[in-house]
Structure 1
Amino acid sequence: MNDNPPTFLIVIGVILVLGIGIGVFFWRRRVGYIKSLTDRGWAFESSPTLAIANGLTVPPFGLGFDRSTDEHISGERHGVPFQVFEYKCQVGRFRVAAMRLQLPLPELFLTTTGARPGAQAAQQQSTGQWHVLSDDAEFARAVQAGAGEPVTAFAQANGGIDLSIDGDQLVVLGAPKEAAELERFLDAMVAIARALDPRALDGFRRPEPERWVGFYRRPHWQFRDRDDTLMSVVEVTQGGQNHRIVNVVSCEVGPLPFVAFKHHWQTTRTVTSTDSNGHTTTRTETDNHEESIFDMSLGVPTPYLEVTGNRALGKWFGRGDRVESELAAFNDRFDVRSDVPKFASDVIHPRQIEYLMQVQPIPFSMGGGRIRVAVPQHDLAVIDHTVAFMYGFLTRIPEFVWQDLGADAPDFDGDGRPGPTLYSSST
């Protein structure tokens, strides 16, 4: 009788031993890496939230909806606060180092690799072996005059530089992972940060950035990757299950607070089928649904008013009465309905009609202090267009209409006043 174990058991045993050995190796390596950071007095978080990017909106930040963070290191270097983390967005994945400056400054890029994807700043004259992008030529010259020497030293030590000024933070892409290399990288950043002397740059000071996850060149817009609390605030499709509200864009300052998001949910249905032998079976199938929502708050209750394309049955069906203008071309193009026809006639006056004919907007309705726009998709370009359209529409509503509603005409030029806080997350 052969007492030797079968060959396949030996193979399995070897594989298990190798697997355990490899697992132990990587675990010890990971523990050693984290210790090399914490021994320097730095904190490490393996799965940080997007909140670590609060206040950062200059590319690669502030772009699109697909954003995530990973591997967060934070601490101080020579008294200057910093953070290093992995950042993923629609234009790529980056290892970012951000260091606090002594004052908030205008947007600027200084890089040996060319313009960053998504950046809109203008190209400026360079005093070194780098590209400079800024909308303020005088500020670009001041930065290069003050920080040119440490920037050159950084680029020589690291084989180039990809730097930006983002509010009150200095951001450099390409931070190394290993602690000793990162330490040298941060030391070179400190030299640049200190060279941005407040005494020389105070004339370029900007307002403190908002401490939220925002959007590039949209200073009042906030981003949340998910916020299911909006189910109880904004009208959405009910029924079904597994409701999710994702990619939330909200604005809560100025006269026109709005929120836009994608709403996902599921429904189930029972399907019965009969095979060729007459056997009947039933099964449950799940259907996935989504809708794009754009909801704006007026803060002033209004009668119901809707403006849609000229629907085939629009003259006979719909909420309220159909209101026609004296312009036949407008009546052919649009259906206007309201439960207070005079309100509709006051709002859709000749100058408003001219605007609507020119813009050809997608359907929208207003009532009870809210405006709902039937956006075709959840997209930043669509949101930009919708906000611009609603601004044009609402600024053309005569002042006496607002007075009849018991309110002053809103300050549509915007003065930074907080609007009604309707769309903030409670989490």
Structure 2
Amino acid sequence: MDSSAVAILPMLMWILIPALVVVLLVVGHQKAKKRREYLARWAAARGWRYTRSSPHLVSRWRSEPFGRGSSRRATNVLSGDFHGRHVVSMAYQYTTGSGKNRSTHHFHVIALHLPAALPWLQLSPESVGDSIAKFFGGQDIEFESQAFNEAWRVKAPPGQYAFDVIHPRMMERLMQPDALGRTISIEGQDILLSIGGRQREDLIDAYANLLYGIVDQVPRHVWLRVGHDPGV
């Protein structure tokens, strides 16, 4: 390579790299636009509503994955009636770190509206870190089923409430493949399901049915304590 080519190479890099960035931005913008248009058609076809962005949903819940990181966004929000109850599906994201260590975390979140507000309860997959924390005295709610304890980490207010909700039949439901590995939270008048990764509209019905199955297993006496009778 002659000296003239060596001299030109840095100049080409200064031109090509910004051009490549612009191309990627344009392609990403077009892809996001097509995604929004598709979801709007998908929602309309089933009588649901599509909203491009819903900032109020970012602070509506405090359960995982909400309340973490910065630059939080709730986008591509799909909402409507699902077998008589209101369901919301969204793409949720937040960022952590800064500079070269900055990372964006993506989740698909589905919320099913409950007939009455229940005390907070959260189930999340048991991780290696959680197991180590328990070994050194970390506080978690333990149940009689060792298999359930190894699969799930349960957080709830002190007292009997968690044991009333998570009875043997509920444990059996939560040990099914469609439930394992998810994060499930009861918060106020919603039950939430969050899955790491991109939003998948083709799985909304399956996720909503999972939440329905969990709600159906909540005992009547738990509902009665909050003023709702599911038998009426």
Give the TM-score, by structure 2 length: 0.63
Q: Is the 8 A contact 2:81 2:87 kept in 1?
A: yes
Q: By how many angstroms is 1:292 displaced? A: 3.2
Q: Quote the residue 1:365 is aligned against.
A: 185
Q: By how many angstroms is 1:213 displaced? A: 7.5
- The percentage of counterpart residues that share the same residue type is 24
Q: Deviation per CA, 1:70-112: give whole Å up to 9, x if none.
A: xxxxxxxxxxxxxxxxxxx48xxxxxxxxxxxxxxxxxxxxxx
Q: Which of the residues 210, 215, 222 maps onto 1:394?
A: 215
Q: Tell me how large the CA RMSD over aligned residues is.
A: 3.6
Question: Which protein is richer in helix relative to its size?
Answer: 2
Q: Is the 8 A contact 1:240 1:268 kept in 2?
A: no
Pick the structure with greater CA Rg.
Answer: 1
Q: By how many angstroms is 1:372 displaced? A: 2.6
1:2-401 residue pairs with structure 2 within 5 A? 66-68=35-37, 89=38, 214-216=43-45, 218-219=46-47, 221-234=48-61, 236-237=66-67, 240-241=70-71, 244-251=73-80, 256-263=85-92, 269=98, 290-314=106-130, 316=133, 322-361=140-179, 362-376=182-196, 377-401=198-222
Aligned residue pairs: how many?
A: 188
Where 1:307 maps in the other structure, the secondary structure is strand
Query: Kindly tell me: are residues 322 and 240 of structure 1, through their superposed partners in 2, closer, same or farther at Cα, counting changes over 3 Å?
Result: closer
Q: By how many angstroms is 1:388 displaced? A: 0.8
Q: Is the 8 A contact 1:304 1:365 kept in 2?
A: yes
Query: Kindly tell me: are residues 234 and 322 of structure 1, through their superposed partners in 2, closer, same or farther at Cα, counting changes over 3 Å?
Result: closer
Q: Is the 8 A contact 1:321 1:338 kept in 2?
A: no
The amino acid that maps onto 1:348 is I
Q: By how many angstroms is 1:223 displaced? A: 1.8
Stretches of structure 2 that go unaligned for 5 or more consecutive residues are 1-33
Where 2:155 maps in the other structure, the secondary structure is strand
Q: Deviation per CA, 1:285-330: give whole Å up to 9, x if none.
A: 986554433333325222222222223343656xx96333332222
Q: Is the 8 A contact 2:91 2:199 kept in 1?
A: yes
Query: Kindly tell me: are residues 228 and 252 of structure 1, through their superposed partners in 2, closer, same or farther at Cα, counting changes over 3 Å?
Result: farther
The amino acid that maps onto 1:230 is L
Query: Kindly tell me: are residues 311 and 410 of structure 1, through their superposed partners in 2, closer, same or farther at Cα, counting changes over 3 Å?
Result: farther
The amino acid that maps onto 1:245 is A
Stretches of structure 1 that go unaligned for 5 or more consecutive residues are 1-64, 69-88, 91-211, 272-284, 412-427
Q: Is the 8 A contact 1:322 1:338 kept in 2?
A: no
Q: Is the 8 A contact 1:303 1:367 kept in 2?
A: yes
Q: By how many angstroms is 1:266 displaced? A: 6.6
Q: Deviation per CA, 1:262-293: give whole Å up to 9, x if none.
A: 2356789467xxxxxxxxxxxxx986554433
Q: Is the 8 A contact 2:193 2:211 kept in 1?
A: no
